[in-house]
Structure formats: structure tokens, C-alpha cells
Amino acid sequence: MSQSHLMNTYARQPVAFVRGEGPYLWDEEGKRYLDAVAGVAVNTLGHGHPGLVKAIADQAANLIHSSNLYRVKRQEELADRLCELSGMDRAFFCNSGCEANEAAIKLARMYGHSKDVANPTIVVMEKAFHGRTMATLTATGSRKIQAGFEPLLSGFARVPFNDIAAIRQVASTNREVVAVLVELVQGEGGVNIVSPEFMRELRQICDEFGLLLMLDEVQTGIARTGTWFAFQHSGVMPDVMALAKGLGAGVPIGACLARGVAAEVFKPGNHGSTFGGNPLACAAALATLDAVEKQSLLENAEKVGNYIRQVLKEKMTGVTGVMDIRGQGLMVGIELDRPCADLVAKMRDRGFLINVTADKVIRLVPPLIFTEAHADELLGPLAEEIVAFLEG
Ligand SMILES: *Cc1c(COP(=O)(O)O)cnc(C)c1O
């Protein structure tokens, strides 16, 4: 076997996993790893979760796919559950995060045209990550991701992250602005968190100017930050919300939820997806939501996330080169003063999977079943490697 017939889109690490159980993965040689990446915030329930496995197997034996030409009962059930948990009104199902954002972007444009805005414009943030399709990479605030794919789309206006004054400025001067798209905790951008006042003021601005408040909760959604959705920390409701990563706990599924006028924008024929919301994917998502409830994973994410940050802060006191330790729930960022991608291999050699994003930020997004004992297992070696790296 080789990688020569794979398109060269990833600089892959030289390891292949063959089995997983709980927060552990095993490679081909039988070496065990503690997984603090969780398939990039995807494996909500860890690996080999019996309830999830059974739900997938049962659904597969019964019906994997029908079509959105027909009613899909599991999809209706999942939409009911997500709307009940979030307070949103309607869901559109797709297969990934970029597709969930793509639906949000199309929805915002159609909403704009319904108000006779000729060139509907969406306000997006610096350092944002919204995906790799043409619309979502245009919305993404990273030249590295956009370079080589010009022409980009029109209809986006960029402002600095967490800068409510900049949003007000654009909203009050550009009559074509119809929506604001934002991550409440930027994942790929380096675990950057908006301030508590941000959501409230953003809601005010959106109400004042008739804009849709659209949240990309692809990474923060489904209990990751200690609440079902990150917006619930503020209690301020969005008009549109994109979900994906953790929703199916590893089975590909995305969702675009909408509320109020935004929920009534799409009519038959406006948008679609062949696979979106098929019975198999919805069964996985329903089983994920069940397990999050049954295993109290909201509480666990908050508790273990706080524990990780507290232990790290203790271990890193007085270590020069550690700029910040931050996060929300089981999204943890450790910002160093220099690029630190080398730490990934160092930790992998010792049997731990971590991630580095935005060059200088160690990102921990373990499965939500992570315990304080798992955290202890990880944090000793991680602290040692960070210190050695900074001193080296
Ligand atoms: C991962 C991610 C996406 C893209 O999701 P894909 O499933 O890779 O298309 C979009 N937005 C955010 C915030 C993400 O973390």
C-alpha cells in the first residue's frame, strides 16, 4: 500500500489507526495512543461507543438511504430534537461543516434578495474558518486557504475578530449587508473566544439593521463547550446556526438550523442534498444526542475542560514562552510564543495525539467522555514536552 494514488492534499503523519476504544486508539503495530484530537472535534463519544455502534448497525440493517424525494422519519425526529435543544425552528441536513455554512450563506443571500438587496453581503471575521468550498473558503479569514483559488466570491466584508465596533461600522454604512457569520470560539483560528458582551451587542446590531445573526457552531456545537451550543453561554439566540463535526460522533452529517423569518426563506427547489439527513446519518446523530444526555457529557465537558486549564496553568506558571491558556469546555488552547508543530510528533512518539493550529496554538479537543484521570495521563507528558521544547 502507498499514498501515491491519493491526491496530495494532506501532509499526513506516518501512522495509521486500526482500532479504537473510548479515548484510546491503536495503530498497526499494536501501539496505544490517548486521543486528545478526536478526529478534530468529531468523535464526541470516543471510539467504539456501544450505543452508537448498535444504533448504526440496527439502522443499516433496516434502511441506510431512501431519498429526500420522500419523507425521512429519522430526519424529522432529529430536526425535532435539535430544535428542542436549541430553540431554533427548522433544520436542513447535509453532510459536512462547509455544506452547513454553504446553506447558511445561500439562505442569507436569498433573504437579502427578498428585501431587494441587489448584492447581499455577509460580514465575516479575520482568522475565521468556515470550510473549503468556494463560498466557505471565501468566508474563511486565511490567505493560505484562499491562495490559488481566485477568483473568490463577492459579497463578503471582513472585520477583525471580537470587534463589535467594526461590525457596527460596516452594518451602519453598507446598505447591502444582510448577515453576520461568526464562530463564538474560533477553532482552526487558534481557540479564540469572543467576549461575553459580544453576543448581546451583536444581537442588538442585527436587530437594529435587520441582519441575520449566523453562527458557525460546526466545532463548538453538540456539547463541546459545556453547553449544547456555544451561544447558550450568553443566552442570546442566533437566526441561523451551522452544525457538523460532533453531531454524528464520526458519521458524516451537517445541519443548518434557522429560526423565525430565516426558517421560512427556503422553498422547495431552492436547496438540496442527495445524501443529506439520510436514515443512517440521522440514526447516528440521534444516538449521539442520547448518549450526551445519558452520560451527562455537557457537565463532563465543562468540568474536565476547566480541570485541564487549571492543571495546565499550574504546570506552566513561570514557564517563559507560554503566552496563554484558554478555552471553553473541552476546547483548550495553549498559545506559545513560537511555531510549535514539532510537539505533535514528540507527543505521538510517547503515545498521545494532540493538534497544533494557527502555527503557535496547541489545541486539545478530546472526546467528551474524557475524564480527569485521562487528563492527568496526558498533561504530565504534555507539560514536560512543552518545557523541553521551549528550552530547546
Ligand atoms: C471543521 C470546520 C468547518 C468545516 O467542516 P468540514 O466538515 O470540514 O467541511 C467549518 N467551520 C468550522 C468552525 C469548523 O471547525
The predicted structure's pLDDT at residue 131: 98
Q: What local confidence, expressed as pLDDT, does residue 196 receive?
A: 86
* Centre of ligand 1 from the C-alpha of residue 21, in Å: 25
Domain span holding position 149:
51-294
Same structural domain for residues 66 and 174?
yes
233 and 309 together in one domain: no
In the structure, which protein residues have their CB atom closer than 6 angstroms to any atom of ligand 1? 96-98, 101, 129-131, 183, 187-188, 216, 218-219, 244-245
In a domain, 40, yes or no: yes
Question: How deeply is 314 buried, as exposed, middle or buried, from its count of CB atoms within 10 A (0-12, 13-18, 19+)?
Answer: exposed
Same domain, 245 and 335: no
198 and 63: one domain?
Answer: yes
Examine the fold and report which residue of 294, 316, 343 is the final residue of a domain before the chain moves on. Answer: 294
Q: What is the CATH number of the domain that holds 301?
A: 3.90.1150.10
Q: What is the pLDDT of residue 364?
A: 98
pLDDT of residue 243: 99
Whole-number pLDDT of residue 210 = 98
8 A C-beta contact, residue 378 and residue 311: no
Look at ligand 1, atom 10, and give the residue with the nearest C-alpha. Answer: 130
pLDDT less than 50: residues of the chain: none
Do residue 33 and residue 108 come from a single domain?
no
List all residues 6 or more positions away from 305 whose beta carbon is below 8 Å from its beta carbon: 225, 226, 327, 328, 329, 330, 331, 332
Kindly give the number of the ligand 1 atom that is closest to the alpha carbon of 95: 7
In terms of phi and psi (left: phi > 0; alpha: psi -120 to 50; beta: otherwise), the region of 346 is alpha
pLDDT recorded at residue 32? 98
- Calpha distance 363→157 (Å, rounded): 28
What is the number of domains present in the chain? Answer: 2
CA of 130 to the centre of ligand 1 (A): 5
Helix (H) or strand (E) holding 292: helix 279-294
For residue 381, tell me if it sits in a domain.
Answer: yes
pLDDT of residue 350: 98
Within a domain: 7: no
Domain-terminating residue out of 273, 294, 315 = 294
What is the bridge-based pairing of β-strands 17-21 and 24-27?
antiparallel
**Strand extents, DSSP E, 259-347:** 322-328, 331-336
Per-residue pLDDT reduced to its tens digit, 267-286: 999 999 999 999 999 999 99
Q: b/e for 120-129, b at 16 or more Cβ within 10 A?
A: bbbbbbbbbb
Q: What is the pLDDT of residue 392?
A: 84
**Backbone Cα Rg of the chain:** 21
The alpha helices in 63-187, defined as continuous H runs, are 73-86, 97-114, 134-139, 143-146, 164-173
Among 140, 219, 222, 361, the mutation site with the greatest number of ligand 1 atoms within 8 A of its Cβ is 219
What's the CATH number where 227 sits?
Answer: 3.40.640.10
Residues 328 and 366 sit within 8 Å (Cβ to Cβ): no
Question: Could you tell me if 101 and 188 lie in one domain?
Answer: yes
Q: Which atom of ligand 1 is nearest to the CA of 132?
A: 9
- Predicted confidence at residue 371, as pLDDT, reads 98
